[in-house]
Amino acid sequence: MVNRINTVDSLFFKKETWDEIMSTMQHTVPLNIPIKVGKAFNWNTNATFTERWHLQRNQRIFVMDTVDGKPIHGTQPVFQRGFFAQHDVSLSTALSTRVFFTYSDRKGALALRHVMSPDLSFNFRPNLSGNTIGTYYDPIANKDVEYSYFGGGVTRMQAITRLNINNNLELKVRSKRDTITGSRKITIFDNVGVSFGYDFAADSLRWQPLTITGRTALFSFLDITFRIGFDPYVVKSINGRLVRVNQTELKVNNRLMRFSGSDLNLGVNWRINREFFQKLRKEGKKSDDEAPPPPDPVFPVNALGIPNSRPDFKNPWSITINYTFAYVTFDNQYYYMNYASEKKYAGNIVQTINVFADVNITRKWKIEARTGYDIQNKSFSFTEFKVYRDLHCWEMHFGWVPFGPRQGWYFTVNVKASVLQDLKYDLRRDFRDNNYY
């Protein structure tokens, strides 16, 4: 159950403020049914029923007025008390299996292992909006507009089936250093997937684009990902916008699909710290078959709030350098506007360099700094300086973003225990609002 008030401090104890309190109650019933079909197939079915009870709703009416002699128009909410129930049901079922293929030479010195994992799924969500949807007439657009009494978008029925085929490729070669198996594995592709689907509930464009994705890692510091898209529908330029129309490529151009775009991403990560040099000294003792540790996130998500993870005091210092290269191709709008000089596909290159550094001042104090540079736009990206203090059961964070669209600072003292995460003192000048809190 949630009760919410949105007001200002001068009106907090006024009667009209409490009359507009928003009260909502919700209960959810989940159901999971895993079934083993034979020895090779897994059939998982999930169903969830959610019901929300609202003690109020917001209706909308279209209003037109004049301000300083200028006409204005828009919608005005009308607050209404009562008891309103909102229902939501979702059902998903999936059938999956794994198929193994092995290709090897006669001597057994070289072997290629291919693991295919097909997954056929169906997701169904009926439209139970019922009396939770309202309409108002917009005389400017000359049409009726639907809206939800409780905020958010208007839900529609969904009935989507998808087929995903994931593939893993590994190469097995002989290794004299491994005295147990006499071989070692080399990963060619962590995953290469093919995915497409069909929406039974859509009134048009029911076939979804076919997508081929892939991911691999080389030399333990180079990550490569790619995506290739194929679209079964024709695109046209309408009113200066490139849109998909309900005409298939098969009927118009006598082909199943058209190439619609691709993404190629290369990421290089170097992390240098005391452990890095210690491993160099022990390099001869380490087996080639030992898997490298998973890379730490270079830049944890931060929106000038409490970080998701605490600083690591194990290493007295560390420097992480990340280089990212991305090349994106997509349909060129000007080509479909019949500009003869334009190519059918446009491309865009993004190159960035990010640097993260931290140092322990004492056993309880740590200073961190991060910045980045956009090579294509020749400008600095997100830059932040942080100070952390371990206060035993408490902790202190100070962060400062000196420039850019997210410029601001924050100072927070909070309890470490997650159950008391709301027990904190927070002072900030947020980039989303120029006021002090």
Q: In whole angstroms, give the CA distance from residue 412 to residue 423.
A: 11
Q: Looking at the DSSP assignment, which residues form a beta bridge with residue 24? A: 2, 54
d(CA 40, CA 117): 11
Angle CA 347–349–351, to nearest 5: 175
pLDDT in tens, 270-285: 888 777 777 766 655 5
Backbone angles phi, psi at 208, to 5 degrees: -95, 150
Tokens matching residue 393: 């059961």
Question: What would the pLDDT profile of 382-419 be if each residue is shown by its tens digit?
Answer: 899 999 999 888 999 999 999 888 888 999 998 988 78
pLDDT at 104 over 50: yes
* Segments making up each domain of the chain, as ranges: 209-289+296-437
The amino acid occupying position 391 is L
Q: What is the mean pLDDT of residues 373-389?
A: 89
d(CA 149, CA 73): 20
Buried b (16+ CB within 10 A) or exposed e, 315-342: eeebebebebebeebebbeebbeeeeee
> What is the residue-wise DSSP string for 260-272?
EEEEEEEEEEEEE
- 3-state helix, strand and coil shares in percent for the chain, rounded to the nearest 5: 10, 60, 30
Checking if the pLDDT of 299 tops 70, the result is no
DSSP SS3 for 313: coil
Return the higher-pLDDT residue of 60 and 435. Answer: 60
- Give the DSSP H/E element, type plus range, for residue 66: strand 41-67
In 274-423, DSSP assigns E strands to 317-331, 345-360, 365-374, 379-380, 384-391, 394-401, 408-415
Nearest partner of 60 among 144, 152, 134, judged by Cα: 134
The structure tokens listed for 269 are: 């990560």
| Tokens at 95, concatenated | 């059938």
Q: In percent, how much of the chain has pLDDT > 90?
A: 39
Q: pLDDT of 166-204, one tens digit each? A: 999 988 877 766 666 667 788 888 899 999 999 999 989
CA dist., res. 197 & res. 206, Å (int): 8
Angstrom distance (rounded) from CA 293 to CA 289: 12
Residue 205's pLDDT is 92
Count of Cβ atoms closer than 10 Å to residue 232 Cβ? 20
Name the token pair of 184.
């070692």
- pLDDT of 331 > 80? The answer is yes
What's the pLDDT band for 310 if we cut at 50, 70, 90? Answer: low
The pLDDT tens digits for 21-73 are: 889 999 999 999 999 998 889 999 999 999 999 998 888 888 887 777 777 77
